[in-house]
Amino acid sequence: MKWKSMADSSMTGAPRSTVKLTHVALQRAIGYQFADEALLVRALTHRSFGADNNERLEFIGDGIVNAVAANLLYHSFPALDEGDLSRLRSKLVSKAAAPGVNPFAFGFAAALGAG
């Protein structure tokens, strides 16, 4: 098992106890306790690490973000046509990261392959 730390960019073999601690720290940092920790592990696993990775979760998450944005824009801008709404949605979801949250701040808990 290889874990890449965003803090020092070095690859180290992390013992399971360290992995567990990073998941605890991450859950504290985001203020949410996962009922199913396997889901958290999958969400943090890049496809370069193995077959049980986050791509399917990312797919469904992207779909939810797009649906919510489409609904918001549809009701907020009734005069816009489909093309304008699509372009606006595209710009909105490409900037969908929560304001003030650095997506790389939780890299210490991500499972990445050696590449």
Q: What is the pLDDT of residues 60-111, one digit of tens each?
A: 988 998 999 999 999 999 999 999 999 999 988 876 555 555 655 666 677 7
**Total residue length of the chain:** 115
Contact (Cβ atoms closer than 8 angstroms) between residue 4 and residue 107: yes
Return left, alpha or beta for 43; rule: phi > 0 is left, psi -120 to 50 is alpha, else beta. alpha
Residue ranges covered by each domain of the chain: 2-109
Residue 10 tokens, joined: 């070095």
In the chain, the amino acid numbered 87 is: R
* Residue range 43-70, pLDDT digits in tens: 888 888 888 888 999 899 889 989 999 9
